[in-house]
Amino acid sequence: MKVSVEASAEKRGRGRRSAAEVRSEVLTATVRLLFEEGMQAVTFERIARESGASKTTLYKWWPSPGAIAAEAYFASSEPTLEFPDTGDLHADLVAQLTAFVTLLTDEKVGKPITELIGAVQIDPDVADVWSRTYALPRRELARQRLRVSQLTGELNAEADLDIMVDQLWGACYHRLLILKVPLADLNVDRLVTYSLRGAGSGT
Amino acid sequence: MKVSVEASAEKRGRGRRSAAEVRSEVLTATVRLLFEEGMQAVTFERIARESGASKTTLYKWWPSPGAIAAEAYFASSEPTLEFPDTGDLHADLVAQLTAFVTLLTDEKVGKPITELIGAVQIDPDVADVWSRTYALPRRELARQRLRVSQLTGELNAEADLDIMVDQLWGACYHRLLILKVPLADLNVDRLVTYSLRGAGSGT
């Protein structure tokens, strides 16, 4: 995972890479910069140097370094934040939200992600990429898991899935971004119980 | 409400103001700058010029212009965001949250507040003032209203009020800050129904 400047210089000497390879290496380098040095290290200059991509390529593909960070975060967090489906919705939501809270409670991830979300509020280009490549796809994954439980009858077929998503993940972000109180104090099990009962499940 | 540079120069000529007066005029001038010109106009320089306070005073009382903005926003939004108590918790929460959503849906308020919340994620001094002078006091006001309903038996006495607050206001912030979808599409009545039912009320 750790790629030094020398290693990326070597890569440059490795011959022509496909666009998909360059894209993937840019995202990997950006996530590394974000988590190791924070948002202030995420510049076109540094990303170009660390990934071996040219700055021209970066300018062409992304409107700002923050936009690369938003896309890179989605790609890197996908395995950690996947939605289990064991047939028990309450347990699956607790597992997913606990992984999410644990990820953000880790200072090395929580701080840069909070800064990235700060950039999302200030720069409309970052907001656009964040919303399209991270937040809305993640909401769709959550909806898909909830729809499975609507089909099996575990969750009320009429439940407003978007409100459930807002209540579940919104509660976590509320503590992280607005209240600035420790996320670790959130009782995830109770949050899930309230949200499922509120939407009309038997949990 | 509109105070020109000339008017604030006049104020300076009006003789010595008390610390409380200066503080109040600083907050008024800052809210005006924030809503009329956005966060980028909120600098010590501009606040000093518009309020007639010296920059030395500002430096002494606040760690950063963003910190003044956070405190000023709480003071200015207090009347709009007050918690009604008509004895009907569902109706009162819908009324308060509708006022909150309406305030943030107004582009002239929503945009600078979103930018201010962005600054909260990036600058720890702004985060500290925002949390102490806006977010935590507002949570306490919400808890107080919920506690009244616990006493009357309208709300389950065992309900976790902090999770309810996270679900209700967190849902709104989730759309505003994370998803970047129109807040106006949120069905506030249904959000309140889900949150009250989830916490164990008869609503």
DSSP secondary structure string, A24-81? HHHHHHHHHHHHHH-GGG--HHHHHHHH---HHHHHHH-SSHHHHHHHHHHHHHTTTT
The structure tokens listed for A121 are: 């509020």
- How close, in Å, is residue A191 to chain B by CA atoms? 6
Q: Please indicate, yes or no, whether residues B44 and B78 belong to a single structural domain of this protein.
A: no
Determine the Cα angle at A173 with ends A46 and B165, to 5°. 160
Phi, psi of B41 (to 5 degrees): -85, -10
Same domain, A122 and A25: no
Query: How many angstroms separate the CA of residue A51 from the nearest CA in chain B?
Result: 26
pLDDT recorded at residue A15: 66
Are A138 and A169 part of one and the same domain? yes
Q: Give the A:B interface size as CB pairs under 8 Å.
A: 151
Tell me, what's the pLDDT at B81? 79
Q: Which two tokens stand for residue B103?
A: 């305030």
Look at chain B and report how many structural domains it folds into: 2
- A72 belongs to a structural domain: no
- For residue A10, the model assigns a pLDDT of 38
Same domain, A45 and A124: no
Q: What local confidence, expressed as pLDDT, does residue B162 receive?
A: 98
pLDDT greater than 60 at residue B169: yes
User: Do A100 and A52 fall within a single domain?
Assistant: no
pLDDT single digits (tens) B16-56: 789 999 999 999 999 999 999 999 999 999 999 999 999 99
From the list B128, B170, B191, which residue is nearest A174 (CB)?
B170
Do A45 and A101 share a domain, yes or no?
Answer: no
Phi, psi of A33 (to 5 degrees): -60, -45
pLDDT over threshold 60, residue B189 = yes
Q: How confident is the model at residue B69 (pLDDT cuts 50, 70, 90)?
A: very high
Residues of A with Cβ-Cβ distance to B142 under 8 angstroms: none
Residues A192 and A156 both lie in one domain = yes
Question: In this structure, what DSSP letter does residue A87 have?
Answer: S
Q: Are residues B96 and B55 in the same domain?
A: no
Q: Which residue has the higher pLDDT, B108 or A53?
A: A53
- Residue A47, domain CATH: 1.10.10.60
**Rounded distance, CA B139 to CA B130, Å?**
12
Give the pLDDT score at B108: 86
ipTM of the modeled complex:
0.87
The answer to whether residue B15 is domain-embedded is: yes
A191 to chain B: which residues are within 8 Å by CB? 163, 166-167
In a domain? residue B66: no
What CATH number is given to the structural domain containing B126?
Answer: 1.10.357.10
- Say if CB A122 and CB A137 are below 8 A apart: no
CA dihedral A86, A90, A96, A100 (to 10 degrees): -170
pLDDT at position B203:
42
By C-alpha distance, the chain B residue nearest A192 is B198
CA-CA-CA-CA dihedral for B165, B170, B176, B180, to nearest 10: -160
- Asked if B190's CB is within 8 angstroms of A160's CB, the reply is yes
- pLDDT value at B135 more than 70: yes
Residue A70 lies in a domain: no
Contact B167 A171 (CB under 8 A): yes
pLDDT (tens, 9 = 90+) of chain A, 203 residues, equals 333 443 444 355 556 789 999 999 999 999 999 999 999 999 999 999 999 999 999 999 999 999 999 999 888 888 877 888 999 999 999 999 999 999 999 988 899 999 999 999 999 999 999 999 899 999 999 999 999 999 999 999 999 999 999 999 999 999 999 999 999 999 999 999 999 999 986 44
Answer whether B50's CB lies under 8 Å from B3's CB.
yes
Asked whether residue B192 is assigned to any structural domain, the reply reads: yes
- Last residue in a domain, options A61, A87, A102: A61
Distance, in angstroms, between A117 CA and closest chain B CA?
7
Chain B residues with CB-CB distance to A117 below 8 A = 121, 177-178
My answer on whether A57 and A105 are in the same domain is: no
Q: Is residue A68 part of a domain?
A: no
A196 with A109: CB under 8 angstroms?
A: no
Decide if A66 is inside a domain.
no
B142 and B71 in contact (C-beta within 8 Å)? no
Question: Is there a contact between A135 and B179 if contact means CB atoms under 8 Å apart?
Answer: yes
**Alpha-carbon distance B67 to B97, whole Å?**
25
In a domain, B117, yes or no: yes
Q: Which two tokens stand for residue A20?
A: 């998909």
With CB atoms and an 8 Å threshold, state whether B121 touches A127: no
Q: Which of A136, A174, A193 sits opposite B169 (nearest CB)?
A: A174
* A95-129 as b/e: b if 16+ CB within 10 A: bbbebbbeebeeeebbbbbbbbbbbbbbbeebbbb
Domain interval for residue A30: 5-61
Question: Do residue A96 and residue A144 come from a single domain?
Answer: yes
My answer on whether A47 and A86 are in the same domain is: no
Mean pLDDT value across chain B: 90
